[in-house]
Structure 1
Amino acid sequence: MANDGAEAALPKPSNWNLPNAITVIRILLAPVFFIMLLVDDGQDGWLRWAAAVLFILAIATDGIDGHIARSRNLVTDLGKLLDPIADKILTGAALVGLSILAELPWWVTIVILVREVGITVWRFVQLSDRVIPASRGGKLKTLVQSIAISLALLPFPSLLGDWVNWVNGVFMALALILTVVTGIDYLVQAWRLNRTPPPTSPSSPSASPPSPQR
């Protein structure tokens, strides 16, 4: 009973905290990166390098804000929702930019974006019942996507030769496979949740209504 009282006394972390601020900054950096990438127009100039470095730094903050949130007890439902959305906006901007520059087939970008947008919409639909954080498979997918996109953004072929394109292709293919597989996994989980009947409240001799706390 004492432990229950101590847990109840713990204040709920505010949505206005450092991890969520870092996540919002990552979202705001996406259009800046996108403009820098397109302005360079595939010339592999300093803007291309700057755009690539900005993407890498922005996507790297995903691990930083998560570590801060967990270590300082600042995990919030808003953060669980915004964190994967920020990653999707940033990676989506990179994929669309690479396709506009004809450096990535449009069908690859479309497949990935359809999966990402679909899962994001599903998360919003589920908000009335629960907040669905990124799964372990989803986090691995994001990591591989980040590596693949970073390699595609960095103008290494102009310095090291065309063989780098093969390396980029392998990582992008792996990212595409993980994107599709984890998307199917989310759909399977959703189907199982919809089939699971809601838990029934145990019978009680008291006529008082059940507590709203779960």
Structure 2
Amino acid sequence: MTGVPASAAGGSGAKPVRGGKLGTAAVNQASLWNIANILTMLRLLLVPGFVLLLFHDGGYDPVWRSFAWAAFAIAMITDLFDGHLARAYNLVTDFGKIADPIADKAIMGAALVSLSVLGDLPWWITGVIIARELGITLMRFWVIRHAVIPASRGGKLKTLAQGTAVGMYVLALTGPLATLRFWMMMVAVVLTVVTGLDYVRQAVVLRRKGLAAERAAVAERAAEATEALQAAAGTSVGGTAEGTVGAGSTAGAVAGATDVRGGVTDVHGGVTEVRGTAEARDAAEAER
């Protein structure tokens, strides 16, 4: 119940190197039947066994409640061990990602509800703790697209306080120990509420940051697209202007050539007229 799936801390079925850590080349998908997943499955199987032991003989036999306490203690201890093994040996499977948090909440929820049914634990305490656990799980899904809410030190302390308090309620304690377990449960409830509010704060902050980052990325992509369009439009206009200038120059050259040719023609015509006039004058003088 640390908030981070124990079997999801990494993944490889390869033999670890010295120090319990895997080399980079050994990171592969782990087998489903690895030690971390087996402990998780054991914890799931202990849930119905714990309930049967607790309610055996009416639920008030100290001996059977001691057996139930042993099953609850084993389940809580396996939660610590499968998390350690998963982190140390980099064992990860999709099953572990889903089953580990379910197993954590199943054993704690079963213990709280059973104790309230037996009348040993007020229902409001059960309601507060279960509502907090379900709410935080939903909160994680709410922000999972933006970030992962890490398990805090307070959350781990809360888990320890809950496990200790619930374990003391499972046992048939009397006298000062019964008073002690009440105050231990109050500490667990306070930590449950405080850490729950802290998770809500983290979720809101992470979601805001994630949304701001998405908006900034969209704005940046839009600016890049606008710049690309402007650059493409500038290139097109420049090419059109060059084409217009070239056409104008060609037209001017053609017009100039036409004017020159017309001028030459006019000169030829003038020479012809002068020559014709001279010939006519010579002819008239010859007739006289």
TM-score by length of 2: 0.60
**Correspondence for 2:194:** 181
Structure 1 stretch displaced more, 116-125 or 76-85: 76-85
Q: Tell me how far apart the structure 2 counterparts of residues 23 and 134 of structure 1 sit (CA, whole Å).
A: 19
**Match of 1:150, as an amino acid?**
G
Residue 191 (structure 1) shift: 0.6
**Correspondence for 2:213:** 198
**Match of 1:109, as an amino acid?**
T
Residue 136 (structure 1) shift: 2.4
Maintained 8 Å contact 2:36/2:86? yes
The two structures, once aligned, show a CA RMSD in angstroms of 2.7
Secondary structure in 1 aligned to 2:112? helix
Alignment of structure 1 residues 33-182 onto 2, 5 Å? 33-75=50-92, 79=96, 82-128=99-145, 132-157=149-174, 162-182=175-195
Residue 164 (structure 1) shift: 1.3
Residue 23 (structure 1) shift: 1.4
Q: 1:12 aligns with which of 25, 28, 44?
A: 28
Secondary structure in 2 aligned to 1:86? helix
For structure 1, the 5+ residue unaligned runs are 1-5, 208-214
> Deviations for 1:173-202, whole angstroms, at most 9, x for unmatched residues?
000001111111110011101211226568
Maintained 8 Å contact 1:115/1:179? yes
**Match of 1:99, as an amino acid?**
S
Maintained 8 Å contact 1:81/1:132? no
User: Larger helix proportion, structure 1 or 2?
Assistant: 2
**Match of 2:103, as an amino acid?**
A
Structure 1 stretch displaced more, 37-46 or 148-157: 37-46
Alpha carbons of 1:40 and 1:142: their partners in 2 closer, same or farther (altered >3 Å)? Answer: farther
Residue 36 (structure 1) shift: 1.9
Alpha carbons of 1:35 and 1:105: their partners in 2 closer, same or farther (altered >3 Å)? Answer: same
Alpha carbons of 1:167 and 1:53: their partners in 2 closer, same or farther (altered >3 Å)? Answer: same
Aligned residues: 195
For structure 2, the 5+ residue unaligned runs are 1-22, 226-288
> Deviations for 1:28-57, whole angstroms, at most 9, x for unmatched residues?
211221122123433224321111110011
> Deviations for 1:125-151, whole angstroms, at most 9, x for unmatched residues?
445555545332222111110011111
Maintained 8 Å contact 1:81/1:131? no
Q: Tell me how far apart the structure 2 counterparts of residues 104 and 42 of structure 1 sit (CA, whole Å).
A: 13
Q: Tell me how far apart the structure 1 counterparts of residues 161 and 72 of structure 2 sit (CA, whole Å).
A: 14
